[in-house]
Amino acid sequence: MRILIAPDAFKGSLTSAEATVAVASGIRAAMPDAEVMTMPLADGGEGTLDVLRSVYGDDVRNNILYFNDNGVPCGLVESALLIGLTLPNIQADVFDRGSEKLGMAVLAALDAGVRDIRIALGGSATVDGGLGLLTALGGLVSGPDGTFVSPDMNGMMQADRINLSNLDQRLDDASITVLCDIQNPLCGRDGAVYRYGAQKGIPLGSLSDVEAAMQHWAGACEQVFGLSVKHDAGVGAAGGLGFALRLLGAQVVSGAGYVMQVCGFSQAVKTVDWVVTGEGRSDIQTLDGKLPIKVAQVARRAGASVALISGDVIDGQSLSGYFDCIVPARTEGMPESEAMERAGENLVTAAEHWAHGL
């Protein structure tokens, strides 16, 4: 029996490498004769930089991974390291959070001479439509009274017009690639606000007001940039950061697909009987383009069976058509806080239980 372990990070508890070790330990306890291969992965969210530094090298400065790709100097930035939802110093009020730090990281990469910039978007805490990013890059955003707004969600709620005259001209020569973990548009029921706003802290009673402000912000931006991208797949990622980056000419690609290609997943999966993947919580949002779905699609095309072992599984019925086996590591009745504290231990137990059933 040959088994490939290829999970995402378990947000807030385990890196993908740690999750891989836990699953491997459980499988080997139950099946000591199994040949176990490991490949920690990511989908553009938390942990993407750590996974890719194992491929591209270890030149990380100020949370930017510098490397050469076919002789071209590149820089990779992970949003979750700068404006992530699990950061200890993140502002308590979602309206006070913005994407300015990501824009500053782009400037740092440009200052280092990089013109090929790759941005992993997942795991952000912001819903500012990329306003903070654009202001950091030189955009001037004002409200109806003409005063400049703050570079955060509060500013997006007041934004009325944007001036691009001071936008950093080096962006004209830059190639930006967005590694995206979802396929959602900016606005509407499946957009950045209604689909993901509540989990980032927007009160349910405020969602309609924030959505209206996002629509207005999108219209102001598209008029100035002369582009219509708010309906594009993936621009709703990271609270609308995908939208702002598309306005700057960025190409939006599947983060999972990108990482899997770089790590050689499609070649490795051809040689195994089973693939085990997972994430911190699997639910309906997993179907938006998260890593486990991408892994399952490629693995099944290669003829391998796929097991999903995640920290928690919500509405497993919606996921059942994509996996041959679904195992939640969190036992029934265990509080979420305890499950996260014991994530590694629970994952070992769940993997061992799954392997015993083979």
Instruction: Give me the mean pLDDT over the 9-14 stretch.
Output: 90
Separation between Cα atoms, residue 180 and residue 246, nearest integer Å: 12
Within the chain, what is the greatest distance between any pair of CA atoms? 71
Quick check: 248 and 176 in contact, CB under 8 A? yes
Instruction: Give me the mean pLDDT over the 119-130 stretch.
Output: 95
Over pLDDT 90: what percentage of the chain? 91
Residue 70 contacts by C-beta under 8 Å, 6 or more apart in sequence? none
Residue 7 contacts by C-beta under 8 Å, 6 or more apart in sequence? 16, 19, 20, 23, 40, 41, 276, 277, 278, 279, 291, 292, 309
Instruction: Give me the mean pLDDT over the 140-157 stretch.
Output: 97
> Per-residue pLDDT for 313 more than 90?
yes
Task: Write down all domains in the chain, each with its CATH number in brackets.
Answer: 2-39+264-356 (3.40.50.10350), 48-255 (3.90.1510.10)
pLDDT classification of 120: cutoffs 50, 70, 90? very high
pLDDT digits (tens, 9 = 90+) for 187-203: 999 999 999 999 999 99
pLDDT value of position 317: 87
pLDDT digits (tens, 9 = 90+) for 258-271: 999 999 999 999 99
pLDDT classification of 182: cutoffs 50, 70, 90? confident
Separation between Cα atoms, residue 169 and residue 120, nearest integer Å: 23
pLDDT value of position 279: 96
| 3-state secondary structure (DSSP) of residue 147 | coil
> Per-residue pLDDT for 52 more than 90?
yes
Q: Which residue has the higher pLDDT, 336 or 5?
A: 5
pLDDT value of position 213: 98
> Per-residue pLDDT for 207 more than 90?
yes
| 3-state secondary structure (DSSP) of residue 277 | strand
Q: Considering the entire predicted model, what is its pTM?
A: 0.92
